[in-house]
Structure 1
Amino acid sequence: MSSDSPAAVVLDTSADDFVLPFSVEGLDVRGRIVRLGPAIDAILARHSYPDAVSTLLAEATTLAVMLGASLKIEGRFILQTQSDGPVNLLVVDFELPNRIRACATFDRERVEAFAADQAPVGALLGTGHMAMTIDPGTHASRYQGVVPLDGGSLEDAARLYFRQSEQIPTAVRLAAAHAYRSDRGGDRTFHWRAGGILVQHLPEAGPGRMPDLDPGDVPEGVELPDFDEVDEWTEARMILETVEDHELIDPSISAGNLLIRLYHERGVRVFDPTELIERCRCSQDRITDMLRGFSDEERADMVKDDEIVVTCEFCSTEYHVDPAALETSETS
């Protein structure tokens, strides 16, 4: 993040909700651009999050898509932060290839105090960790990478993740804003938008890549080895650092035009984009199956006015379940 608070931009088009892979062969670089509009707006509209929390969750969702979109599996990529900050939990569930949902838990009083102090958005996270879990499904083991959070931004945490877990030189930019659209009458309506761009030096690019490390995360206290950047990666990284927040979230600046501005001299190549949709995984059947996993005593404590009401943390949908139906199912 390059700014401490959300900015506003004018929406000129509605072309959004995609991840676009690209490569810059002249610099041995690959990358992805993510644009989120209606999808992230729908996610955030279901909750009364303060703007600072919405900004953070929008950036986390963008980051999860950028990281998960590279996986060639049928499964899920889950990004989760847990910390002692005002926002103590962020969860983004990216069901490959294109379904996203996300939610946050926070201390409203502490968030309001944060806003009054005008502290950097990353300070909302405080100290803790960010975990990224690859879940290929029921027939394979999960993989999880964990990096510490120390009051820095999600961009900082992502760079550390790639340095210690993937050993791939990586640069990331994220942005989110409460943007506005003016109608013909001059009235403004606000919508959440988010975007990001990631570039990586190809592992096969030669001696400039990071030295190989043992698989998995580096243990706490172990220093990572230094490596000398090759000129191509230095150029690619420094060009990416020129990207401004509005270029990532303004739909009047297409992803293709942004890439041309950045890397046209080196020959940028784009691939087929993947459309992203906001879609929760909850359902009446899933909730019922979940409740069947509790004991009779535990379910009895959940009953109020002769029913069990479960609210999905992701989409805020309420599910009403008759306790008798659960008992009948177990004894039939």
Structure 2
Amino acid sequence: MPAPADPAATAIDLALGFAIPAQDARGRFARIGPTLDAILAAHAYPPRLEALLAEALVLTALFGTTLKDENGQMTLQAQTEGGVVDLLVCDYRAGALRGYLQFDADRFAEAPADPSLFALFGQGYLAITFDQAVTGERYQGIVPLEGGSLAAAAEAYFAQSEQIPSLVRVAIAGGAGLPCVAGGMLVQHLPGGEAGRDRLHARIDHGQWAHVSALAATIKANELTDPALPLDTLVWRLFHEEDEVRLLGETALGKGCRCDPVHIASVLARFPAEERAAMADADGIIGVDCAFCARTFPVSLASLAAAGGEPT
């Protein structure tokens, strides 16, 4: 592995992949700051729920940037039964992140100052979905929301749904009115070799994974969230004694909501005129809400009729 890049460079709103061929391991770092602030600014969540969404967005960046299909989409969704949070949704496509959550304000007011994952979600579950744009294939894994964090639940996802030993770490800095930075690390033991071989999780000898996971576990929270610390420096610090570490390239991350007025109008145009009229208010305006960016897009019945389905 070459020496890390200029330490004075700002490393934020980025993801970086790497591989350690001799140890059958791969990994990824992600760090988001201005993108995270832009997403959170659209909502007025309490600090604890801001941190929860920040954790989910970092996980989404870590997992989404593993997609080989540039136009594919990865969605992380957590739903609850009897918890404070009713729904949490984040997704990734082509470097763009978005996310939101719905919660019961009364239940949150009654919760402890630092509620546990169980208090937040109750008997909830975590669903991770990969949609491949090129092939149209979809893969989804679902696991219970157990453990002390979403990161712990994500580790369970890889162990149960993917059957790949994984180490996931997430750290959050700032928030509560201050600029927020969230960083994460995903390190995994790759399935063994050619098709037909046993997957590595089923083998007795876990020496390679024990070695790699022990090194990866030394990562510190402040290293994950320090925007002045290049991501390749983190790889260097953890694995510089390995014979070969391959950097797989950086991915720029940004806020990206796909609510487009023209697309919204084209969807509304598919409804019969009487149904569109029923959706409109007294002024003939249909308000279409986007939960991700907390905006309402007004579309008038007159503009739909005049433009054949698209606003003027």
RMSD: 2.5
Structure 1 regions of 5+ residues with no counterpart? 1-11, 181-188, 212-226
Q: 1:282 aligns with which of 249, 259, 264?
A: 259
Structure 1 pair 299/177, CA: closer, same or farther in 2 (3 Å)? farther
**CA apart distance, 1:269:** 3.2
Moved more, 59-68 or 133-142: 133-142
**CA apart distance, 1:91:** 1.0
Distance, in Å, in 1 between the alignment partners of 2:135 and 2:19 is 33
Q: 1:177 aligns with which of 148, 161, 173?
A: 173
1:83 pairs with 2:80: yes
Q: Count residues in correspondence.
A: 294
2:111 counterpart SS class:
helix
1:311 pairs with 2:289: yes
Deviations 1:152-187 (A, max 9, x none): 42122211211222221111111223259xxxxxxx
Distance, in Å, in 1 between the alignment partners of 2:247 and 2:135 is 33
1:43 pairs with 2:39: yes
Distance, in Å, in 2 between the alignment partners of 1:228 and 1:70 is 27
Distance, in Å, in 2 between the alignment partners of 1:32 and 1:138 is 24
8 Å contact kept, 1:177–1:192: yes
Report % sequence identity: 40
Distance, in Å, in 2 between the alignment partners of 1:140 and 1:312 is 25
**CA apart distance, 1:46:** 0.9
Matches within 5 A, 1:173-322: 173-178=169-174, 190-204=178-192, 209-211=200-202, 228-267=204-243, 268-306=245-283, 307-322=285-300
Q: Taking structure 2 as the reference length, what is the TM-score of the superposition?
A: 0.85
2:153 counterpart SS class:
helix
Q: Taking structure 1 as the reference length, what is the TM-score of the superposition?
A: 0.80
8 Å contact kept, 2:117–2:146: no
Deviations 1:113-169 (A, max 9, x none): 3343x2335642222221122222386232222112246421222112112222211
8 Å contact kept, 1:291–1:299: yes
8 Å contact kept, 1:208–1:229: no
Structure 1 pair 266/113, CA: closer, same or farther in 2 (3 Å)? farther
Tell me the residue number matched to 1:72. Answer: 68
Tell me the residue number matched to 1:9. Answer: none
Tell me the residue number matched to 2:5. Answer: none
Matches within 5 A, 1:135-154: 135-137=131-133, 140-150=136-146, 152-154=148-150
Tell me the residue number matched to 2:4. Answer: none
**CA apart distance, 1:244:** 2.4
Distance, in Å, in 2 between the alignment partners of 1:104 and 1:293 is 29
Structure 1 pair 228/51, CA: closer, same or farther in 2 (3 Å)? farther
Structure 1 pair 178/302, CA: closer, same or farther in 2 (3 Å)? farther
Distance, in Å, in 2 between the alignment partners of 1:22 and 1:68 is 15
